[in-house]
Amino acid sequence: MAKIHVTTTINGAPTEFLCDANQTLLDVLRDTLGLTGSKEGCGSGDCGACSVTVNGRLVCSCLVLAPETEGAKVETIEGMADGERLHPLQKKFVEMAALQCGICTPGFLVASKALLDRNPNPSETEVRFWLAGNLCRCTGYDKIVSAVMEVAAEMRETVR
């Protein structure tokens, strides 16, 4: 089967891969590139566990075809920490126990970062609506929402 050659940038690193026409970005990330932080929950865009950004836009990588990322900039959970230094959202999720089993966590972190990049001062309602595409069956969401609100407040302090 003739493969498609794709040249893209993943977490800042120029990356090339071969894929099939109907292979999803999620499958390539996990199975071809070994970036297994993005999870497959539903595979139909309902749960958000596979959230990544493509050209800065938050999407479900299970609903993006891998060949579509030709020339694009993809950011995954693996690109969030700076080496050993965790992103403030990652730190806060740990501190405030905003996770239990952890399967949904990469998706929540990527989605939360996409929110704070756009809106450094979200209301609780805005956080809840923004994260409505990420499902968590453990936490009940409150700790996740509190963690995001807290990080937003801290990051605003730092900027000031």
Partner 1 sequence: MTEIQYKVAKNIKDACILMAAADGKGRILAGGTDLLVQMKAGTQAPGTIIDVKKIPEMVTIAKTKGGFRIGAATPAAVIGEHEELRKTWPGVVEAINLIGSKQIQGRASPGGNLCNASPAADSVPALVAAGATVNIQGPGGKRQVPVEQFCTGPGRTSLQKGEIVVSLSLPARPKGSSDAYLRLIPRTEMDIAVVGCGVSLTMKGDTVVAARVGLGAVAPTVLLVEDAAKALVGSQLEDEALEAAAKACSAACRPIDDKRGTIRYRTKIAGVLLKRAAAIARDRANGISHTAH
Give the type of residue at 5: H
Residues in contact with partner 1, shown as a per-residue x/- string from 87 to 106 under the rule CB under 8 A = --------------------
Give the residue, chosen from 10, 35, 109, 114, that forms a contact with partner 1 under the rule CB under 8 A. 114
Query: Site residues for partner 1, window 126-155 (CB under 8 A)?
Result: 129-130, 132-134
CB of 94 or CB of 119, closer to partner 1:
119
* 73 token code pair: 């900039």
* 66 token code pair: 């891998």
* 71 token code pair: 């020339």
Using CA atoms, how far residue 113 sits from 104, 118, 133, in Å, is: 14, 9, 14
Span of 32-40, 53-61, 86-94, 138-146 interacting with partner 1 by CB under 8 A = 53-61
In angstroms, give the least distance from the CB of 25 to partner 1.
10
Query: Site residues for partner 1, window 1-40 (CB under 8 A)?
Result: 1-2, 4, 20-22, 24
70 binds partner 1 (CB under 8 A): yes
Residue among 149, 77, 145, 151 nearest 110 (CA): 77
Give the residue, chosen from 10, 28, 62, 104, that forms a contact with partner 1 under the rule CB under 8 A. 62
Contact between 89 and 131 (Cβ < 8 Å): no
Sheet holding 57-60, edge to edge: 13-19, 4-10, 73-75, 51-54, 57-60
Give the type of residue at 26: L
Token pair 């969030």 is found at 80
Contact footprint for partner 1 (CB under 8 A): 1-2, 4, 20-22, 24, 43-45, 48, 51, 54, 57-60, 62-65, 67-68, 70, 111, 114-115, 125, 129-130, 132-134
